[in-house]
Amino acid sequence: MITLDAVKVGDALPPLSYDVTSTTVVLGALAARDWRPMHHDYHFAVDRQGVKDIFLNSPNQGSWLERFVTDWTGPTGRLGRLRFKMRKPIFPGDTMVLEGTVRDVSVDDAGCGWVALDLTIRVGDVTCTESEARVAVPTSPEDNPWRRHGDDWKP
């Protein structure tokens, strides 16, 4: 578990590398209750959508990013906001690499500690997804962002 005082602008998160398979794509889509065929039907993806294979769906990419962030923060890290822009699909056979750096560290007027992160999902030299996250982390070992509600939570 990290606390805000241990985080500095420019810090790099430990990269995460993962070999994507058809199972990764299908499992991720079904876990998100996304039944659309381009995430499980090769012929639909190729013949109808004009891409080379089935590809990771949006919520599952978000879940990979969520995991990547909380691998770093530990369970007391609480995502406030996640934005991601998908520039290129991620296909079975790709090795995706998630990377991130700290862009900003701050404390809001309710006393909540925030870290702004720039994130990417890369395949080879190609950035497939660009992302920004705003994650709350404890300001001290006694603090817990999950206990914040209402006006004390400003994501």
Partner 1 sequence: MTDVKPSDPDLPGDVQALIGELQYEELGEFPVERGYFWTSAASVENGNPLFWDDAVADEVTEGPVAPLMLLSAWFRPHHWAPGRAVEKLPLQIHFDLKARFELPEAIMTENTTIFHEPVRPGDRITSAQRLVSVSEEQTRRLGTGRFWIIDVEYRNQRGELCGVERWEGFGYRRDDPPKDASSKDASSKDAR
The footprint of partner 1 (CB under 8 A) covers 18, 24, 27-28, 30-38, 44, 47-50, 58-60, 62-67, 70-71, 75-76, 78-86, 144, 146-147, 149, 153, 155
Q: Minimum Å distance from CB 74 to partner 1?
A: 8
CB of 136 to partner 1, least distance (A): 10
Task: State which residue, 21 or 107, has the beta carbon closest to partner 1.
Answer: 21
Nearest to partner 1 of 7, 84 (CB atom):
84
Strand segments (E) across the chain? 16-19, 78-86, 95-107, 113-123, 126-137
Quote the least distance from Cβ 82 to partner 1, whole Å.
Answer: 5
Instruction: Tell which phi-psi region holds residue 87, choosing left (phi > 0), alpha (psi between -120 and 50) or beta.
Output: alpha
Q: Select from 119, 115, 116, 138 the least CA-distant residue to 127.
A: 119
Q: How far is the CB of 38 from partner 1 (least distance, A)?
A: 6
Q: Which is nearer to partner 1, 44 or 101 (CB)?
A: 44
- Residue closer to partner 1, measured from CB, 101 or 144: 144
Rama region for 116: left / alpha / beta (φ>0; ψ in -120 to 50; rest): beta
The rounded distance, in Å, linking the Cα atoms of 32 and 24 is: 12
